[in-house]
Chains A and B, each alone.
Chain A
């Protein structure tokens, strides 16, 4: 049989036939349409802002006129670069914050990793007592804003040198905590580490739980000792999880604002994030943009170095599902002492901060922690000109209630949009696998991961302070808060979306296709119901993150779009510690209550019990 050579008879690219073919093709492949739309939208909200601040950083801005009156607005200049890197002011503006941020980042990451790893090992691989309760409590910090510990720390150690009231320590013992204990790098590292261990714990315990102990037993039968097995078999399998824990923690620390602001600013200890905030407030946006860019470069190079060292390979999937067993080693005599140690740790990280917040919120005169000084004024007081600038207690405070409403609205809106966007991105990426569009989309959806929160906020200030074509200036609106929260969470929700679509075998949708069922019906009858459990979990996570977020939105909030976290920060800045404590407590309770409700609803609806083949 003579075969025609391949390649003959293909119409030219611009021919009518080819264009009609491509049009038909687009019509038959909804994932292409979704992919293109999502790519355009994400480019607009992720890449364009980035390019915009790069441009702003290198052009002369009107706010620079006060330094260089001869400058031409809009012309190319190295003015900002020079100011940040090469002037007497650079030490304070750039080098010190850089050093502080790095010190803070490495110290917190190291401590959080050690604590998280130890706890994960105890919980998964030993017979420590009360695992159920511990498991629930250990992830508790994840639900709290990272700076709750900082507020609690201040209640405990605040000294008289800065002004304002003193903390519990001074009240009880009369001893003034030294400055280095009350403020600066030491308390910042401690309080952040006691929050961020939860990330390392979650990631590592998840990975540990999927290491089949048969793998280790195989090592044992080939004559390896216990420590050798851990070193040669278990640790390499955990490396990807440890690697992502390190990257995640470090980047979050770089971008975190609340704690360094609360514990650092009183002693003029600046990190990158607080310096960006200060520069924006001082109307030196150019400086802030350069700093934000450096922060992004720092984050990217950290990811790169980390992946070179650890060599994260995706092929390290050890989940088998079959023949899966876990072995627990006996702690022996140390079982109770270690259990007690964990209880103490939980008291310190979970119970103590909340008790301190509650107590603080109930004191009438700040700094006096006696029973006689207790009051519920800051919860239900109607406003008294002699107390806290006349601010009424929570339930009568219009400002707080509005912020509360805004926070809940932000949480729900972000969760909803994130869910939809995550699903669509997941669908377009998975169904388009192998095509360039799919790769680009996956990459761009992941891009916000490398922007430390505060840097992304700075980028959004640069982009949305004026209108862009049909898009109005969004600065100061509620929309921009939703937008930035959705974008910041997109790396996680798109991962969830991709995972959710991946677990739905392609044939389930194809079966519907060949039976003549259209795209919308396929989405609503097949794809959405089957990916619901993963999506809801992802949306709940977005909700929690949105409710407790401060670093991301601190640069974007104004009285017009105030949320609870921003309000807490401003109360704290004004040294109104009872108000800030009360509102923080309310926020934490709210997050807990709503996540419990969502979990109950999804469980009773039977989501997650499906046997997806």
Chain B
């Protein structure tokens, strides 16, 4: 129960194509996150699954049942798709109490009164809002409203959960808390979940699998680990990771990538290509030393941003800016010389033209 299948989905608003021929399968019980910048088509995709938008072309199946097919002329309205959706704005009905918000749809389904009461109690219990049944949404805090929206979903017991940036209206601290409880919710309900966000931390922390979208197309599909460590192209490499990945453009000569002030040693398979390419390395994969070491690159310190547990260092090798991430609370005065070295395994290489990761090409 709960498989989602999208096949050849195209959606445009006027002349602007927002989803371009999208194929997607979500397995039963999986937690899938669609991640991308605003306007990439992720919310539209979610709304098409829910039935709130109609694709121009393609087919959507839920639990092996076709709910939309342009070619076969099938459209199942959202009312009949039986799935759960959490909105960015929570979409609580302001004129109804928490209890009414949760039970309105249950009453529609002709469920017995005792069962409804049971489910209400259960749902409020799960989101730790017991005793709030008679409150109005405006009398609750943002986090509590969010939990009511979750409780409304729990009471309906859908086999598919859709979440549209559910945490983006919360402040940073609450967001961390709610992230954990959403993960727990998914585990407890065992429902197939599609989660849409532009926040990479949410994507990396919650998902079994992430899909990165840009301009209506899937840029990369994979586990959080893969996406972070092996970005398929420069877009994904730059989009994921905070602080962002370091990219160096250079020319291959003598087995090395010559980027001006710095040069990077290349694996033979890549060195043999010749020409230009772009090397990428994440800030935490660069080793730092305060004393000169043989073969290490000398850089000068610029701005430091300690965040508590970590420190972000902006340094320069001559005129090439490099971002470093070190554990600990580092205090250094500006212009202090440092020496750095790249972890060779952590380097990614991208074609300058296609912007694709060369790893895919080689293997």
Answer whether A and B are interacting partners.
yes
Choice from A510, A517, A610 contacting B95 with Cβ under 8 Å: A610
Q: Which residues of B contact A16 (CB under 8 A)?
A: 73
Given known A-B contacts A10-B57, A16-B73, A513 and B94 have beta carbons under 8 A apart: no
In contact, B85 and A6 (Cβ under 8 angstroms): no
- In chain A between 500 and 525, which residues have their CB closer than 8 angstroms to a CB of chain B? 505, 507-508, 510-518, 521, 525
Q: Is the CB of B109 closer than 8 A to any CB of chain A? A: yes
In contact, B74 and A24 (Cβ under 8 angstroms): yes
Q: Which residues of B contact A21 (CB under 8 A)?
A: 70, 73-75
Chain B, interface residues (CB within 8 Å), range: 35 or more
In contact, A9 and B71 (Cβ under 8 angstroms): yes
In contact, B73 and A513 (Cβ under 8 angstroms): no
Considering the chains assembled together, what is the distance between the CA atoms of A514 and B87 in angstroms? 11
Given known A-B contacts A507-B91, A610-B94, A28 and B70 have beta carbons under 8 A apart: no
Please give me the residue from chain B that is nearest to A515 by CB atom: B105
B78, B82, B90: residue with the most chain A Cβ atoms closer than 10 Å: B78
Considering the chains assembled together, what is the distance between the CA atoms of A19 and B73 in angstroms? 7
Choice from B13, B17, B50, B93 contacting A514 with Cβ under 8 Å: B50
- In chain B between 216 and 261, which residues have their CB closer than 8 angstroms to a CB of chain A? 217
In contact, A25 and B85 (Cβ under 8 angstroms): no
Considering the chains assembled together, what is the distance between the CA atoms of A21 and B21 in angstroms? 20
In contact, B54 and A25 (Cβ under 8 angstroms): yes
In contact, A515 and B104 (Cβ under 8 angstroms): yes
How far in angstroms is the closest Cβ of chain A from B150? 13
Q: Is the CB of B137 closer than 8 A to any CB of chain A? A: yes
Given known A-B contacts A4-B21, A28-B75, A517 and B108 have beta carbons under 8 A apart: yes
Q: Which residues of A contact B17 (CB under 8 A)?
A: 6
In contact, A3 and B91 (Cβ under 8 angstroms): no
Q: Is the CB of A173 closer than 8 A to any CB of chain B? A: no
In contact, B104 and A9 (Cβ under 8 angstroms): no
- In chain A between 1 and 31, which residues have their CB closer than 8 angstroms to a CB of chain B? 3-4, 6, 9-11, 16-21, 23-25, 27-28
Q: Is the CB of A66 closer than 8 A to any CB of chain B? A: no
In contact, B95 and A529 (Cβ under 8 angstroms): yes
Q: Which residues of A contact B217 (CB under 8 A)?
A: 3
Q: Is the CB of A530 closer than 8 A to any CB of chain B? A: yes
Q: Is the CB of B79 closer than 8 A to any CB of chain A? A: yes
A507, A521, A526: residue with the most chain B Cβ atoms closer than 10 Å: A507
Choice from B13, B52, B91 contacting A505 with Cβ under 8 Å: B91
Kindly supply a per-residue 1/0 record for chain A positions 427-440, scoring 1 wherever the CB is within 8 Å of any chain B CB and 0 otherwise. Answer: 00000001000000
Choice from A17, A27, A512 contacting B104 with Cβ under 8 Å: A512
Q: Is the CB of A386 closer than 8 A to any CB of chain B? A: no
Given known A-B contacts A18-B73, A24-B74, A25-B75, A510 and B13 have beta carbons under 8 A apart: no
In contact, A613 and B94 (Cβ under 8 angstroms): yes
Choice from A27, A510, A516 contacting B52 with Cβ under 8 Å: A510
In contact, A530 and B72 (Cβ under 8 angstroms): no
Considering the chains assembled together, what is the distance between the CA atoms of A517 and B107 in angstroms? 9
Kindly supply a per-residue 1/0 record for chain B positions 85-100, scoring 1 wherever the CB is within 8 Å of any chain A CB and 0 otherwise. Answer: 1011111111100000
Given known A-B contacts A4-B8, A20-B73, A530-B94, A510 and B21 have beta carbons under 8 A apart: no
Please give me the residue from chain A that is nearest to B47 by CB atom: A510
How far in angstroms is the closest Cβ of chain A from B185? 17
Please give me the residue from chain A that is nearest to B8 by CB atom: A4
Q: Is the CB of A371 closer than 8 A to any CB of chain B? A: no
In contact, A513 and B78 (Cβ under 8 angstroms): yes
Considering the chains assembled together, what is the distance between the CA atoms of A507 and B74 in angstroms? 24
Choice from A3, A10, A508 contacting B20 with Cβ under 8 Å: A3
In contact, A3 and B71 (Cβ under 8 angstroms): no
Considering the chains assembled together, what is the distance between the CA atoms of A9 and B52 in angstroms? 23
Q: Is the CB of B312 closer than 8 A to any CB of chain A? A: no
Given known A-B contacts A4-B8, A510-B87, A514-B85, A434 and B13 have beta carbons under 8 A apart: yes
Q: Is the CB of B77 closer than 8 A to any CB of chain A? A: yes
How far in angstroms is the closest Cβ of chain A from B361? 14
Q: Which residues of B contact A23 (CB under 8 A)?
A: 73
Q: Is the CB of B40 closer than 8 A to any CB of chain A? A: no
Q: Is the CB of A612 closer than 8 A to any CB of chain B? A: yes
Q: Which residues of B contact A525 (CB under 8 A)?
A: 93, 104
In contact, B57 and A505 (Cβ under 8 angstroms): no
Q: Is the CB of B168 closer than 8 A to any CB of chain A? A: no
Q: Is the CB of B138 closer than 8 A to any CB of chain A? A: yes
Kindly supply a per-residue 1/0 record for chain A positions 167-207, scoring 1 wherever the CB is within 8 Å of any chain B CB and 0 otherwise. Answer: 00000000000000000000000000000000000000000
Q: Is the CB of B60 closer than 8 A to any CB of chain A? A: no
A-B contact pairs, 28 of them (CB 8 A): A3-B20, A6-B21, A10-B56, A10-B70, A16-B73, A19-B73, A21-B70, A21-B74, A27-B77, A508-B94, A510-B78, A511-B85, A511-B91, A512-B104, A513-B79, A514-B52, A515-B108, A516-B79, A516-B109, A517-B79, A517-B104, A518-B108, A526-B93, A529-B95, A530-B93, A610-B95, A611-B94, A613-B138
Instruction: List 20 additional contacts besides A511-B92, A514-B79, A517-B105; criterion CB under 8 Å.
Output: A3-B21, A11-B73, A17-B72, A23-B73, A24-B75, A28-B75, A507-B88, A508-B91, A510-B87, A511-B85, A512-B93, A513-B78, A514-B78, A515-B104, A516-B105, A516-B108, A530-B93, A530-B94, A613-B89, A613-B137
Which residue numbers of A lie inside 8 Å of B, CB to CB? 3-4, 6, 9-11, 16-21, 23-25, 27-28, 434, 505, 507-508, 510-518, 521, 525-526, 529-530, 610-613
Please list the 7 inter-chain residue pairs (A to B) with the smallest Cβ-Cβ separation, ordered nearest first.
A20-B73, A515-B105, A28-B77, A21-B73, A511-B91, A507-B91, A24-B75
